[in-house]
């Protein structure tokens, strides 16, 4: 299988159907090393203090970094990435998250819909109470997400706006508002 440079950095491979699946990271020996969801979840929750946890779904590395900076600057919270829809659902079923931020279109699977994932989360009785927001600059996509059960979200063009911090503050403890 051929890896695109960005997919290789993300630890993904393209399957025969054209979708991406998680394959791992290259260890220092040059061999593939498994990055099981459990390992990623354990790594993200380690640390001396308990912090709020955000699952960021479907973003490329650049956008994930921008979202991570926004949250780290304003909240005592961490962002755990999930590249694919199935991976996100598995992570949500394995551990609790205070908020899920879902991209409208996934960076590594353009056929996946963030609104569709929101519907799946809200239809699952184990996950239905988890707050979810859509990342999209399109008002019609935001409305579709709210109709599917999401909280009002925001677009990537709004990351530097105070209103975005206020929306996130409903679910995350913020240093700026305390």
74-113 confidence digits (pLDDT tens):
999 999 999 999 999 999 999 999 999 999 999 988 888 9
Beta-bridged to residue 131, according to DSSP, are: none
Is residue 10 a part of any domain in this protein? no
Average pLDDT over residues 63-80: 95
| pLDDT score at 147 | 98
Instruction: Tell me if 122 is assigned to some domain.
Output: yes
Q: What is the DSSP string of 23-59?
A: --EE-TTSSEE---HHHHHHHHH-SSS--EEEEEES-
Give me the domain span that covers residue 141. 37-169
Residue 25 falls inside a structural domain: no
pLDDT, residue 50, reads 64
CATH number of the domain residue 47 falls in: 3.40.50.2300
Task: Give me the pLDDT at residue 173, please.
Answer: 75
In a domain, 18, yes or no: no
**Residue pLDDT, tens place only, 134-176:** 999 999 999 999 999 999 999 999 999 999 999 999 999 745 4
User: Which H helix or E strand runs over 88?
Assistant: helix 85-94
Q: How far is CA 116 from the centre of its chain?
A: 14
pLDDT band at 6 (very low <50, low <70, confident <90, very high): very low
**Cβ neighbours of residue 67 under 8 Å, at least 6 residues apart?**
56, 59, 79, 101, 135, 159
In a domain, 113, yes or no: yes
Q: Indicate the pairing of strand 20-22 with strand 12-14.
A: antiparallel
User: Distance between alpha carbon 142 and the CA centroid of its chain, in Å?
Assistant: 16
Question: Is 60 exceeded by the pLDDT of residue 25?
Answer: no
Task: Please indicate, yes or no, if residue 146 is contained in any of the structural domains.
Answer: yes
pLDDT value of residue 14: 45
Domain count for the chain: 1
pLDDT band at 41 (very low <50, low <70, confident <90, very high): low
Report yes or no on 19 lying in a domain: no
- Does residue 6 belong to any structural domain of this protein? no
């Amino acid at each position: 299988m051929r890896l695109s440079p960005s997919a290789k950095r993300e630890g993904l491979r393209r399957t025969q159907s054209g979708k991406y699946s998680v394959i791992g990271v290259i260890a220092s020996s040059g061999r593939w090393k498994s990055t099981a969801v459990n390992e990623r979840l354990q790594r993200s929750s380690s640390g001396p203090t308990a912090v709020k946890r955000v699952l960021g779904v479907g973003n490329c590395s650049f956008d994930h970094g921008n979202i991570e900076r926004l949250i780290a600057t304003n909240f005592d919270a961490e962002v755990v990435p999930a590249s694919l829809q199935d991976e996100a659902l598995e992570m949500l079923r394995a551990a609790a998250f205070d908020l899920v931020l879902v991209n409208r279109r996934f960076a590594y699977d353009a056929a996946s819909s963030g609104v569709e994932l929101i519907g799946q989360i809200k239809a699952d009785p184990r996950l239905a109470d988890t707050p979810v927001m859509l990342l999209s600059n399109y008002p019609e996509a935001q409305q579709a997400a709210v109709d599917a059960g999401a909280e009002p979200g925001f677009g990537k063009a709004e990351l530097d706006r105070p209103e975005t911090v206020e929306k996130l503050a409903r679910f995350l403890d913020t240093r700026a508002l305390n």
